[in-house]
């Protein structure tokens, strides 16, 4: 939970403050390759399914309405335990590369993702992170600030034997990254609140819990912060570049953005009523 966000919330709502959209001239920079490859293995489903899409995009000026897609890259995955190669292709020409032959990432295996684009070779590695399943997901009756939020109560059991990091996807681009530092091995429960602007109830939502690496946790925490979805105001951290784990092996200075990560993911679909 981002405490600064709460402070900002107070600042904005407690005082006679206002937010307005302003025109700003922003600087520009050369486009960078974006490699968005967060593989999810839905391990609790039978049969097990996966999401193994590698999205390739280019960065754009901040106020551009279109984000360019990359369709002419070569993408493949190497299983470093046996050097088997899994080829990816963008059959729809939408910048989303999928394995030609569906595959399920194995346990305890390091995979190397290679992207060749514009005569430059980008590489990064990942291996699958374990995740528990939800013990329960229910709608609550509480509200947070405005009295119009919808409460979602989430519970799961943390593994006592290791440091765990989790990424929750509450749909509508609402993410939460947490670590088990304060609840190692516990039956942990917490509440997530949907603001009325973020989610119109009644509706069904599909939420996801993924086990993630410490590095991805650090990365995603900043990503959420910088996306501005739950921050802003004077208490925001001084923004800085956010580098992932992909390296441009041809020219390290022309670094890409994005991340290559493989997680086990549990999903839960719940129908949320309008209780207010």
Partner 1 sequence: MSLKKFAIVSLLLLSSYVFSQEKITLSGTVYDNSTNETLIGVSIYFPDLKSGTTTNEYGFYSITIPKGTYTIQISYLGYTTIVKEIVLNEKQNQDFKLLEETESLDEIIIESDIEKLNVKTPQMSVNKLSASTIKQIPVVLGESDIIKSIILLPGVTSAGEGASGFNVRGGAADQNLILLDEAIVFNSSHLFGFFSVFNPDVIKDVKLYKGGIPARFGGRLSSVLDIYQKEGNSKNFKITGGIGLVSSRLLAEGPIEKEKSSFLIGGRASYAHLFLPLFDNDNSAYFYDLNTKINFRLTEKNNLFFSGYFGKDVFGISDNFINTYGNTVANLRWNHLFSDKLFSNLSLIYSDYFYGLTLDFVGFEWDSGITNFNLKYDFKHYLNDKFTLNYGINNIYIKFNPGEIIPNRPDSGIQPEKLIDKYANEFAAYVDAEHQVNNKLTFQYGIRFSNFTRLGQDELNVYANNEAVIYNQQLKKYESAIATGVENFKRSDVLANFSNFEPRFSLSYLLDDNTSIKMSYNRMAQYLHLLSNTASPTPLDVWAPSGRFIKPQLLDQYALGYFKSIKNGDYSLETEVFYKDIQNRIDYINGANLIANNEIETVILNGRARAYGLEVLLKKNEGSLTGWLAYTLSRSEQQTLGRNANEPGINQGEWYSTPFDKTHDLSINGSYQLNKKWTFNANFLFQTGQPTNYPVGQYEVQGLNVPIFDDNRRNADRLPAYHRLDISATLTPRKNKNRKWQAEWVFGIYNLYGRMNAAAINFRQNRETLRNEAIQTSIFGIVPAITYNFKF
- Give Cα separations from 87 to 53, 76, 162, 210 (angstroms): 12, 4, 33, 25
Do the Cβ atoms of 73 and 37 come closer than 8 Å? no
Q: How far is the CB of 45 from partner 1 (least distance, A)?
A: 20
Do the Cβ atoms of 41 and 265 come closer than 8 Å? yes
Asked whether position 17 contacts partner 1 by CB under 8 A, the answer is yes
- What angle (nearest 5°) sits at the alpha carbon of residue 245, between those of residues 169 and 215? 55
Candidates 97-105, 109-117, 253-261, 265-273; binding stretch for partner 1 (CB under 8 A): 253-261
Asked whether position 53 contacts partner 1 by CB under 8 A, the answer is no
Cα–Cα distance for residue pair 16/12, rounded to 1 Å: 7
Do the Cβ atoms of 12 and 233 come closer than 8 Å? yes
Closest CA to 36 of 130, 127, 118, 113: 113
Q: Total binding residues for partner 1 by CB under 8 A?
A: 96
Candidates 63-71, 72-80, 113-121, 263-271; binding stretch for partner 1 (CB under 8 A): 63-71
Query: DSSP label at 197?
Result: T
In the complex with partner 1, which residue's Cβ is closer, 20 or 119? 20
Q: Which of 91, 189, 250, 269 binds partner 1 (CB under 8 A)?
A: 189
Please state, as a whole number, how many other Cβ atoms lie within 10 Å of the Cβ of residue 237. 11
Q: How far is the CB of 26 from partner 1 (least distance, A)?
A: 5
Candidates 55-63, 70-78, 101-109, 113-121; binding stretch for partner 1 (CB under 8 A): 55-63
The residues in 122-141 that bind partner 1, with binding defined as CB under 8 A, are none
Asked whether position 173 contacts partner 1 by CB under 8 A, the answer is yes
The residues in 140-169 that bind partner 1, with binding defined as CB under 8 A, are 142-147, 151, 169
Question: Which string of x and - marks every residue 232-251 that binds partner 1 (by CB under 8 A)?
Answer: xxxxxxxxxxxxxx-x----
Q: What is the residue whose two structure tokens read 């399920």?
A: 104
Asked whether position 274 contacts partner 1 by CB under 8 A, the answer is no
């Amino acid at each position: 939970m981002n405490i600064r966000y709460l402070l900002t919330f107070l600042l904005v709502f407690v005082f006679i403050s206002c937010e307005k959209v302003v025109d700003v001239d922003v600087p520009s920079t050369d486009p960078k390759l974006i490699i968005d490859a967060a593989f999810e293995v839905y391990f609790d489903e039978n049969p097990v399914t996966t999401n193994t899409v590698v999205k390739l995009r280019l960065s754009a000026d901040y106020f551009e309405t279109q984000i360019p897609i990359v369709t002419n890259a070569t993408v493949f995955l190497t299983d470093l335990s046996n050097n088997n190669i899994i080829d990816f292709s963008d059959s729809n020409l939408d910048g989303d590369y999928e394995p030609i032959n569906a595959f399920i990432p194995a346990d305890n295996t390091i995979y190397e993702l290679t992207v060749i684009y514009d005569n430059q070779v980008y590489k990064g590695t990942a291996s699958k992170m374990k995740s528990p399943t939800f013990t329960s997901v229910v709608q609550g009756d509480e509200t947070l600030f405005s009295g119009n939020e919808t409460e979602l109560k989430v519970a799961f059991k943390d593994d006592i034997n290791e440091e765990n990091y989790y990424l929750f996807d509450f749909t509508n681009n609402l993410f939460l990254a947490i670590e088990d530092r304060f609840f190692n091995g516990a039956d942990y429960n917490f509440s997530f609140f949907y603001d009325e602007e973020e989610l119109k109830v009644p509706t069904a939502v599909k939420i996801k819990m993924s086990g993630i690496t410490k590095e991805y946790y650090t990365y995603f925490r900043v990503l959420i912060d910088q996306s501005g979805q739950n921050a802003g105001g004077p208490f925001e951290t001084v923004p800085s570049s956010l580098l992932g784990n992909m390296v441009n092996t041809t020219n390290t200075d022309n670094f890409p953005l994005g991340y290559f990560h493989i997680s086990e993911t549990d999903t839960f679909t719940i129908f949320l009523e309008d209780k207010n």
